[in-house]
Amino acid sequence: MSVYSVGILTLSDKGARGEREDTSGAMLQELFGGLDEYRVVRYLLIPDDQERIAATLTQWVDVEGIDLIVTTGGTGVSPKDLTPEATRMVIEREVPGIAEAMRMASLEKTVQAVWSRGVAGIRKQSLIINLPGSEKAARENIEAVLPALAHGLYKLKGGRADCGELV
């Protein structure tokens, strides 16, 4: 069984200033830390700054080689919510099915999910997924796609087994 490295990047101006606790980032650390196929190697909380987000994602992929990066925060429609734009600056290929599945799962719980703009995409052999900033929404979103992630990462890393052979 492969073990995939995970980086968790929280985007929050208030969190970066110490005015708000990062419960979504903490939840993601606990969730991935409790799974055998993942190892959390990086966690960072930074302000909602498009250039800094893009630079961090690039560093984590190009220099540190992190397999899976999940961002939390900045996926809504307020003026500072630019995580999807920063992610699109660095990815080479989008994986729309991940974002679609997360939004579909959220829509089962709240109509407000229509406002989520999170994206998922690939840079080199790393997968980047944008999650909402609230702990509840981040959990619902990641749980919607978590069963598919290890398989996708395996294939992204060059795994040659046929998809039907993997569970």
Q: What is the pLDDT of residues 61-70, one digit of tens each?
A: 999 999 999 9
Q: What is the DSSP string of 98-118?
A: HHHHHHHHHHTT-GGGGG---
How far is it, in rounded angstroms, from Cα 8 to Cα 46? Answer: 11
Its pTM stands at: 0.95
CATH architecture of 4-157: 3-Layer(aba) Sandwich (3.40)
Query: What residues have CB less than 8 Å from 55, skipping those under 6 apart?
Result: none
How far is it, in rounded angstroms, from Cα 156 to Cα 39? Answer: 17
Query: What residues have CB less than 8 Å from 18, skipping those under 6 apart?
Result: none
Q: What is the pLDDT of residues 88-112, one digit of tens each?
A: 999 999 999 999 999 999 999 999 9
The ranges assigned to domains in the chain are: 4-157
Residue 34 CB-half CA count within 13 A? 7
Average pLDDT of span 9-24: 96
Tokens (6 digits) for 67: 């397999």
Structure confidence at residue 1 as a pLDDT band (50, 70, 90) = confident
Q: What is the pLDDT of residues 120-153, one digit of tens each?
A: 999 999 999 999 999 999 999 999 999 999 999 9
